[in-house]
Protein backbone atom coordinates (compact mmCIF):
# COMPACT_ATOMS: atom_id res chain seq x y z
CA UNK A 1 0.00 0.00 0.00
CA UNK A 2 2.86 2.33 0.63
CA UNK A 3 3.89 4.62 -2.14
CA UNK A 4 5.94 7.71 -2.72
CA UNK A 5 4.81 10.40 -0.36
CA UNK A 6 6.19 13.55 1.15
CA UNK A 7 4.71 13.75 4.65
CA UNK A 8 6.14 11.53 7.36
CA UNK A 9 5.44 11.08 11.03
CA UNK A 10 7.95 9.99 13.62
CA UNK A 11 7.12 9.01 17.21
CA UNK A 12 9.58 9.04 20.04
CA UNK A 13 9.20 8.64 23.78
CA UNK A 14 11.04 10.06 26.74
CA UNK A 15 14.17 7.99 27.39
CA UNK A 16 17.82 8.99 27.57
CA UNK A 17 18.73 7.36 24.25
CA UNK A 18 15.94 9.08 22.37
CA UNK A 19 16.00 12.56 23.84
CA UNK A 20 18.02 13.84 20.84
CA UNK A 21 14.88 13.56 18.72
CA UNK A 22 13.12 16.17 20.78
CA UNK A 23 16.17 18.39 20.72
CA UNK A 24 16.46 18.00 16.95
CA UNK A 25 12.84 18.95 16.49
CA UNK A 26 13.15 21.96 18.80
CA UNK A 27 16.31 23.34 17.28
CA UNK A 28 15.44 23.05 13.60
CA UNK A 29 17.70 20.14 12.69
CA UNK A 30 14.67 18.12 11.63
CA UNK A 31 13.43 21.01 9.55
CA UNK A 32 16.81 21.39 7.89
CA UNK A 33 17.00 17.78 6.73
CA UNK A 34 13.36 17.59 5.71
CA UNK A 35 13.85 20.66 3.55
CA UNK A 36 16.92 19.16 2.04
CA UNK A 37 14.91 16.19 0.73
CA UNK A 38 11.80 18.19 0.00
CA UNK A 39 9.67 16.32 2.51
CA UNK A 40 8.01 17.16 5.84
CA UNK A 41 8.68 15.24 9.03
CA UNK A 42 6.41 15.60 12.02
CA UNK A 43 8.12 14.52 15.23
CA UNK A 44 5.79 13.63 18.09
CA UNK A 45 6.84 13.16 21.69
CA UNK A 46 5.14 10.47 23.80
CA UNK A 47 5.12 10.31 27.55
CA UNK A 48 4.15 6.68 27.32
CA UNK A 49 6.51 4.35 25.48
CA UNK A 50 4.00 1.55 24.98
CA UNK A 51 1.51 3.89 23.38
CA UNK A 52 4.10 5.14 20.89
CA UNK A 53 4.78 1.59 19.71
CA UNK A 54 1.07 0.81 19.55
CA UNK A 55 0.48 3.84 17.40
CA UNK A 56 3.27 2.85 15.05
CA UNK A 57 2.01 -0.72 14.87
CA UNK A 58 -1.50 0.48 14.07
CA UNK A 59 -0.10 2.50 11.18
CA UNK A 60 -0.43 5.98 12.60
CA UNK A 61 3.34 6.64 12.36
CA UNK A 62 6.02 5.84 9.83
CA UNK A 63 8.86 5.47 12.29
CA UNK A 64 9.25 4.97 16.00
CA UNK A 65 11.99 4.77 18.59
CA UNK A 66 12.10 1.40 20.35
CA UNK A 67 14.34 -1.41 21.54
CA UNK A 68 15.38 -4.40 19.51
CA UNK A 69 13.26 -6.70 21.65
CA UNK A 70 10.10 -4.62 21.47
CA UNK A 71 10.54 -4.21 17.73
CA UNK A 72 10.32 -7.96 17.33
CA UNK A 73 7.49 -8.57 19.74
CA UNK A 74 5.24 -5.62 18.93
CA UNK A 75 5.32 -4.33 15.33
CA UNK A 76 6.87 -7.41 13.80
CA UNK A 77 4.64 -9.85 15.66
CA UNK A 78 1.79 -7.50 14.70
CA UNK A 79 2.52 -8.04 11.01
CA UNK A 80 4.19 -4.70 10.37
CA UNK A 81 7.41 -5.22 8.46
CA UNK A 82 9.91 -3.02 10.27
CA UNK A 83 13.45 -1.93 9.48
CA UNK A 84 15.96 -0.65 12.02
CA UNK A 85 17.31 2.48 10.34
CA UNK A 86 19.48 3.79 13.14
CA UNK A 87 21.14 1.82 15.91
CA UNK A 88 21.58 4.67 18.36
CA UNK A 89 23.05 3.05 21.44
CA UNK A 90 22.93 0.06 23.65
CA UNK A 91 22.20 -0.01 27.33
CA UNK A 92 25.40 -0.22 29.27
CA UNK A 93 24.11 -0.09 32.80
CA UNK A 94 20.90 1.82 32.19
CA UNK A 95 18.88 -1.27 33.08
CA UNK A 96 19.51 -2.93 36.39
CA UNK A 97 18.32 -5.56 38.83
CA UNK A 98 18.15 -3.91 42.25
CA UNK A 99 17.80 -5.64 45.59
CA UNK A 100 16.85 -4.06 48.86
CA UNK A 101 19.12 -4.84 51.82
CA UNK A 102 20.83 -7.64 49.86
CA UNK A 103 23.94 -7.44 47.78
CA UNK A 104 24.02 -10.83 46.07
CA UNK A 105 21.99 -11.65 42.98
CA UNK A 106 21.47 -15.16 44.30
CA UNK A 107 19.45 -13.71 47.18
CA UNK A 108 16.66 -12.98 44.70
CA UNK A 109 15.47 -16.55 44.97
CA UNK A 110 11.85 -16.77 46.16
CA UNK A 111 11.31 -13.03 46.21
CA UNK A 112 8.66 -11.03 44.42
CA UNK A 113 10.30 -9.01 41.65
CA UNK A 114 8.65 -5.80 40.52
CA UNK A 115 9.14 -4.94 36.88
CA UNK A 116 7.28 -4.03 33.72
CA UNK A 117 6.26 -7.44 32.48
CA UNK A 118 7.42 -8.42 28.98
CA UNK A 119 9.67 -5.37 28.72
CA UNK A 120 13.47 -5.36 28.41
CA UNK A 121 13.54 -5.47 32.20
CA UNK A 122 11.92 -8.85 32.03
CA UNK A 123 14.55 -9.93 29.54
CA UNK A 124 17.31 -8.58 31.75
CA UNK A 125 15.89 -10.53 34.68
CA UNK A 126 15.84 -13.70 32.60
CA UNK A 127 19.47 -13.16 31.65
CA UNK A 128 20.41 -12.36 35.23
CA UNK A 129 18.71 -15.48 36.57
CA UNK A 130 20.36 -17.49 33.85
CA UNK A 131 23.75 -16.24 34.99
CA UNK A 132 23.23 -17.79 38.42
CA UNK A 133 21.48 -20.91 37.20
CA UNK A 134 17.97 -19.96 38.12
CA UNK A 135 14.84 -19.53 36.03
CA UNK A 136 11.80 -17.34 36.37
CA UNK A 137 10.12 -20.09 38.36
CA UNK A 138 12.45 -19.23 41.22
CA UNK A 139 10.97 -15.77 41.62
CA UNK A 140 7.54 -14.19 41.53
CA UNK A 141 7.08 -11.46 38.95
CA UNK A 142 4.78 -8.51 39.81
CA UNK A 143 3.85 -6.13 37.02
CA UNK A 144 4.50 -2.51 38.04
CA UNK A 145 4.21 0.57 35.87
CA UNK A 146 7.47 2.35 35.14
CA UNK A 147 6.75 5.87 36.44
CA UNK A 148 5.81 4.39 39.81
CA UNK A 149 8.96 2.35 40.34
CA UNK A 150 10.70 4.87 42.59
CA UNK A 151 7.73 5.20 44.88
CA UNK A 152 7.10 1.48 44.82
CA UNK A 153 10.66 0.67 45.91
CA UNK A 154 10.10 2.51 49.16
CA UNK A 155 7.22 0.27 50.20
CA UNK A 156 7.98 -2.63 52.52
CA UNK A 157 6.58 -5.30 50.14
CA UNK A 158 9.10 -4.50 47.46
CA UNK A 159 12.46 -6.21 47.90
CA UNK A 160 13.58 -6.73 44.32
CA UNK A 161 13.07 -4.64 41.25
CA UNK A 162 14.20 -4.51 37.65
CA UNK A 163 13.89 -1.20 35.86
CA UNK A 164 15.72 1.34 33.74
CA UNK A 165 16.96 4.87 33.97
CA UNK A 166 16.13 7.46 35.22
CA UNK A 167 14.41 5.30 37.80
CA UNK A 168 17.54 3.21 38.44
CA UNK A 169 19.65 6.15 39.48
CA UNK A 170 16.85 7.53 41.67
CA UNK A 171 16.39 4.19 43.38
CA UNK A 172 20.10 3.67 43.91
CA UNK A 173 20.20 6.83 46.02
CA UNK A 174 17.73 5.25 48.44
CA UNK A 175 19.09 3.57 51.55
CA UNK A 176 19.54 -0.18 51.18
CA UNK A 177 19.36 -0.31 47.40
CA UNK A 178 22.05 -2.27 45.58
CA UNK A 179 22.37 -2.98 41.90
CA UNK A 180 23.21 -6.68 41.65
CA UNK A 181 23.07 -7.09 37.91
CA UNK A 182 22.92 -4.54 35.12
CA UNK A 183 22.95 -4.30 31.39
CA UNK A 184 26.66 -3.61 31.27
CA UNK A 185 27.05 -7.33 32.04
CA UNK A 186 25.22 -8.22 28.85
CA UNK A 187 26.64 -5.47 26.65
CA UNK A 188 25.02 -4.93 23.29
CA UNK A 189 21.93 -6.98 23.99
CA UNK A 190 19.50 -4.16 24.82
CA UNK A 191 19.64 -1.93 21.79
CA UNK A 192 17.85 1.38 21.35
CA UNK A 193 17.03 2.20 17.78
CA UNK A 194 14.91 4.16 15.37
CA UNK A 195 12.87 1.85 13.21
CA UNK A 196 10.71 2.60 10.20
CA UNK A 197 8.04 0.83 8.24
CA UNK A 198 9.90 -1.24 5.64
CA UNK A 199 7.50 -0.51 2.81
CA UNK A 200 7.47 3.21 3.46
CA UNK A 201 11.23 3.16 3.55
CA UNK A 202 11.52 1.15 0.35
CA UNK A 203 9.27 3.57 -1.49
CA UNK A 204 10.84 6.65 0.07
CA UNK A 205 14.52 6.14 0.68
CA UNK A 206 14.86 9.90 1.23
CA UNK A 207 12.94 9.51 4.46
CA UNK A 208 15.56 7.10 5.76
CA UNK A 209 18.36 9.39 4.69
CA UNK A 210 16.76 12.35 6.41
CA UNK A 211 16.41 10.37 9.64
CA UNK A 212 20.05 9.42 9.61
CA UNK A 213 21.06 12.95 8.72
CA UNK A 214 19.09 14.39 11.58
CA UNK A 215 20.46 11.86 14.03
CA UNK A 216 24.15 12.34 13.36
CA UNK A 217 23.88 16.10 13.17
CA UNK A 218 22.34 16.00 16.62
CA UNK A 219 24.95 13.54 17.88
CA UNK A 220 27.67 15.91 16.75
CA UNK A 221 26.18 18.72 18.79
CA UNK A 222 25.36 16.82 21.95
CA UNK A 223 28.57 14.84 22.27
CA UNK A 224 30.72 17.91 21.73
CA UNK A 225 32.62 19.12 24.75
CA UNK A 226 31.68 22.72 24.01
CA UNK A 227 29.27 25.23 25.53
CA UNK A 228 26.78 24.32 22.77
CA UNK A 229 27.14 20.66 23.66
CA UNK A 230 26.57 21.40 27.32
CA UNK A 231 23.55 23.54 26.45
CA UNK A 232 22.13 20.72 24.35
CA UNK A 233 22.56 18.22 27.18
CA UNK A 234 20.97 20.67 29.61
CA UNK A 235 18.00 21.09 27.30
CA UNK A 236 17.58 17.33 26.96
CA UNK A 237 17.84 16.97 30.71
CA UNK A 238 15.12 19.55 31.21
CA UNK A 239 12.91 17.85 28.66
CA UNK A 240 13.24 14.54 30.46
CA UNK A 241 12.32 16.11 33.77
CA UNK A 242 15.79 16.44 35.32
CA UNK A 243 18.82 18.68 34.84
CA UNK A 244 22.12 18.50 32.96
CA UNK A 245 23.93 16.57 35.69
CA UNK A 246 21.15 14.03 35.99
CA UNK A 247 21.03 13.61 32.25
CA UNK A 248 24.79 13.11 31.95
CA UNK A 249 24.63 10.46 34.65
CA UNK A 250 22.16 8.59 32.50
CA UNK A 251 24.32 9.08 29.43
CA UNK A 252 27.23 7.53 31.28
CA UNK A 253 25.33 4.27 31.49
CA UNK A 254 24.51 4.40 27.80
CA UNK A 255 26.88 3.31 25.04
CA UNK A 256 25.99 6.00 22.55
CA UNK A 257 27.37 5.61 19.02
CA UNK A 258 28.55 9.14 18.45
CA UNK A 259 29.60 8.54 14.86
CA UNK A 260 27.95 6.58 12.07
CA UNK A 261 31.05 4.51 11.66
CA UNK A 262 30.82 3.15 15.22
CA UNK A 263 27.19 2.29 14.67
CA UNK A 264 27.87 0.54 11.40
CA UNK A 265 30.61 -1.51 13.00
CA UNK A 266 28.29 -2.61 15.81
CA UNK A 267 25.45 -3.42 13.45
CA UNK A 268 27.49 -5.43 11.04
CA UNK A 269 29.19 -7.50 13.75
CA UNK A 270 28.08 -11.13 14.04
CA UNK A 271 27.08 -10.69 17.72
CA UNK A 272 23.88 -9.01 16.62
CA UNK A 273 22.60 -12.28 15.20
CA UNK A 274 23.39 -14.10 18.44
CA UNK A 275 21.63 -11.39 20.46
CA UNK A 276 18.51 -11.55 18.35
CA UNK A 277 18.45 -15.31 18.71
CA UNK A 278 18.47 -14.97 22.51
CA UNK A 279 15.77 -12.34 22.34
CA UNK A 280 13.45 -14.30 20.09
CA UNK A 281 13.84 -17.39 22.24
CA UNK A 282 12.93 -15.38 25.29
CA UNK A 283 9.90 -13.92 23.55
CA UNK A 284 8.78 -17.29 22.29
CA UNK A 285 9.00 -18.71 25.81
CA UNK A 286 6.73 -15.95 26.99
CA UNK A 287 4.24 -16.56 24.17
CA UNK A 288 4.86 -13.13 22.72
CA UNK A 289 5.48 -14.09 19.10
CA UNK A 290 1.78 -14.56 18.53
CA UNK A 291 -0.58 -17.03 20.10
CA UNK A 292 -0.17 -20.41 18.50
CA UNK A 293 3.31 -19.68 17.20
CA UNK A 294 4.86 -23.15 16.68
CA UNK A 295 8.46 -22.13 17.29
CA UNK A 296 10.77 -19.16 17.68
CA UNK A 297 11.22 -19.34 13.91
CA UNK A 298 7.79 -17.98 12.95
CA UNK A 299 9.05 -14.49 12.35
CA UNK A 300 11.98 -14.00 10.03
CA UNK A 301 14.74 -11.58 11.07
CA UNK A 302 16.99 -10.28 8.33
CA UNK A 303 20.50 -9.34 9.40
CA UNK A 304 22.69 -6.72 7.71
CA UNK A 305 24.61 -9.37 5.82
CA UNK A 306 21.38 -10.60 4.24
CA UNK A 307 21.19 -13.80 6.28
CA UNK A 308 17.84 -14.64 7.76
CA UNK A 309 17.05 -15.95 11.20
CA UNK A 310 13.81 -17.94 11.20
CA UNK A 311 11.14 -18.11 8.52
CA UNK A 312 12.45 -16.60 5.29
CA UNK A 313 8.89 -16.28 3.98
CA UNK A 314 7.77 -14.17 6.88
CA UNK A 315 10.51 -11.63 7.36
CA UNK A 316 9.11 -8.84 9.49
CA UNK A 317 12.20 -7.35 11.15
CA UNK A 318 15.21 -6.18 9.22
CA UNK A 319 18.53 -4.79 10.36
CA UNK A 320 20.43 -2.73 7.86
CA UNK A 321 23.55 -0.65 8.06
CA UNK A 322 23.07 0.94 4.66
CA UNK A 323 21.59 4.27 5.78
CA UNK A 324 24.13 4.71 8.56
CA UNK A 325 26.79 3.76 6.04
CA UNK A 326 25.68 6.63 3.82
CA UNK A 327 26.18 8.98 6.74
CA UNK A 328 29.57 7.49 7.45
CA UNK A 329 30.45 7.96 3.79
CA UNK A 330 29.11 11.50 3.75
CA UNK A 331 26.80 10.40 0.93
CA UNK A 332 23.58 12.00 2.24
Partner 1 sequence: MRWINRKPGPGVRTMLMLAPFVLLVLAYGLGSMARLSDNPSDKLLPALGTMVDAINRMAFVPDVRTGEYVLWSDTGASLGRLSIALGLSTLIALVTGMLVGMLPYVRALLAPFIATISMVPPLALLPILFIVLGLGETAKIALIVIGVAPAMIRDLALRVQELPREQITKAETLGASSWQIALRVVLPQILPRLITSLRLQLGPAWLFLIAAEAISADSGLGYRIFLVRRYLSMDVIFPYVAWITLLAVITNFALDRLRIAVFPWSNLEAR
∠ CA 230-257-22, nearest 5°, is 55
CB of 36 to partner 1, least distance (A): 25
> Per rule CB under 8 A, is residue 50 in the interface with partner 1?
yes
CB of 176 to partner 1, least distance (A): 10
> Per rule CB under 8 A, is residue 79 in the interface with partner 1?
yes
Nearer to partner 1, 143 or 307 (CB): 143
CB of 279 to partner 1, least distance (A): 15
> Per rule CB under 8 A, is residue 159 in the interface with partner 1?
no
Give CA–CA dist 3/149, Å, rounded. Answer: 43
Question: Computed over its alpha carbons, how large is the radius of gyration of the chain?
Answer: 19
**CA 116 to each of CA 2, 136, 263, 289, 299: distance values in angstroms, whole numbers, following the listed order:** 34, 14, 28, 18, 24
By the 8 A CB rule, do 99 and 180 touch? Answer: yes
> Per rule CB under 8 A, is residue 54 in the interface with partner 1?
yes
Query: Which of these segments, 29-37, 53-61, 127-135, 301-309, binds partner 1 (CB under 8 A)?
Result: 53-61
CB of 120 to partner 1, least distance (A): 12
The string of DSSP letters for 100-120 reads ES---GGGGTT-EEEE-TTSH
- Annotate each residue in 214-253 with x if it binds partner 1 (CB under 8 A) or - if it does not, as one string: -----------------x--xx--xxxxx---x-------
Long-range contacts of residues 27-30, Cβ cutoff 8 Å, at least 24 apart: 27/232, 29/214, 29/217, 29/218, 29/221, 30/214
Within 25-44, the residues that bind partner 1 by CB under 8 A are 26, 44
- How many other C-beta atoms lie within 10 A of the C-beta of residue 92? 19
CB of 166 to partner 1, least distance (A): 5
Give CA–CA dist 91/225, Å, rounded. Answer: 22
Nearer to partner 1, 37 or 284 (CB): 284
Query: Which of these segments, 186-194, 217-225, 274-282, 287-295, binds partner 1 (CB under 8 A)?
Result: 287-295
Closest alpha carbon to 120 in 189, 17, 51:
189
- Annotate each residue in 98-117 with x if it binds partner 1 (CB under 8 A) or - if it does not, as one string: ----------------x--x
By the 8 A CB rule, do 84 and 68 touch? Answer: yes
Exposed / middle / buried, residue 101 (Cβ in 10 Å: 0-12, 13-18, 19+): exposed
If binding means CB under 8 A, how many residues of this protein chain bind partner 1?
65
Residues that bind partner 1 (CB under 8 A): 1, 11, 14, 26, 44-48, 50-52, 54-55, 57-60, 73-74, 77-80, 114, 117-119, 140-152, 154-158, 166-167, 170, 173-175, 231, 234-235, 238-242, 246, 287-288, 290-291
Amino acid sequence: FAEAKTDFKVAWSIYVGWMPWGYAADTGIVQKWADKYGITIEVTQFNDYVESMNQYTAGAYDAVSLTNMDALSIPSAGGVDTTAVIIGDYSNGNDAVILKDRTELAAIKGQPVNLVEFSVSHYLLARALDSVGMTERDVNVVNTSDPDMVGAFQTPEVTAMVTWNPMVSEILTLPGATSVFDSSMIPGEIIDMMAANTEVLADNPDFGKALVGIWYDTMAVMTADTPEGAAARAAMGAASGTDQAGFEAQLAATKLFATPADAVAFTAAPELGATMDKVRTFLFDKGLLGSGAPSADVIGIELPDGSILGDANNVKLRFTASYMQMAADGAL
